Amino acid sequence: MLPLTPLPSHAFDMLIDKSVANRKLMKRRGQLCPLIVQSPEQRADGLWRENIFLAADAVIAVAIDLLVEAGAARAAIAHAMNDLRIQLVSRLNDIDDGKQVYIAFAHTARSWDVIATAHVRDAIAAVADHFSEEGEDVKIAFFAAPLHQAASIVRQRASQHDIELPDRFWLSPEELDAGADLLAAAIAPRTSPVIEQWQAMRQRETQKLAVS
């Protein structure tokens, strides 16, 4: 089973521990955003409008639940959903390799920041540096959750409900780069803006390393 294999909606609901109604409500509010989405072009065939959920989507949803348990508001997280998903996707390979990763979400009254680090203390330092230009008196709301725990919860729920999951939650960067065209063809006519942004980020980082 490949990381990009779609999961049935009922199985996905069990993995995120949400009812169908709850899941649909969260999606309408922008609090649940699948990695693979419909293309901008409207399709006459209703099948193209069905949800596509991946195992990685379940890990992201559970990680957000852990941030909420830590005190973050879902409405606040929804504003940073794109940044959050890119950070999580970029670290799923570390989780697959057995490493610890903490996702941190912080915000002030004017802006937010999302950081993924191996230690919470590193996230605190990065967040403090990010908001340093807003002044010493700025109030920062900071929340952190273990991404590796989110992955463990998803696998535990899958075992409880006899749901098959891929061995790895995400393709390696090398696999994704090698099969970028195949990926686009495989999910067509749907698209994945998050994966495209991640690929662009990796290309910029590779170019910087080549120049240096």
Q: Who contacts 140 (Cβ-Cβ below 8 Å, separation ≥6)? A: 106, 107, 108, 127, 128, 131
Helices (H), the chain: 9-16, 20-28, 55-69, 74-79, 81-96, 120-130, 147-160, 173-178, 180-187, 193-211
pLDDT at 180: 60
Query: Structure pTM?
Result: 0.85
User: On the CB side of 128, how many CA atoms lie within 13 Å of its CA?
Assistant: 7
pLDDT of residue 135: 66
pLDDT of residue 142: 93
Look-up: residue for tokens 């990796």? 202
Residue 2 lies in a domain: no
Domain that holds residue 147: 9-211
pLDDT bin (cut points 50, 70, 90) of residue 43 is low
Average pLDDT over residues 164-175: 86
Provide CB contacts within 8 A for 182, sequence distance 6+: none
Q: How many domains would you assign to the chain?
A: 1
For residues 135-158, average pLDDT: 91
Report the percent of the chain where pLDDT is more than 90: 49
Residue type, 190: R
Residue 33 lies in a domain: yes
Q: Per the domain annotation, does 38 fall within a domain? A: yes
Q: What is the pLDDT of residues 24-34, one digit of tens each?
A: 999 999 899 88
Q: Is 163 a residue whose pLDDT tops 70?
A: yes
Q: In this structure, is residue 35 part of a structural domain? A: yes
Q: Is residue 4 part of a domain?
A: no
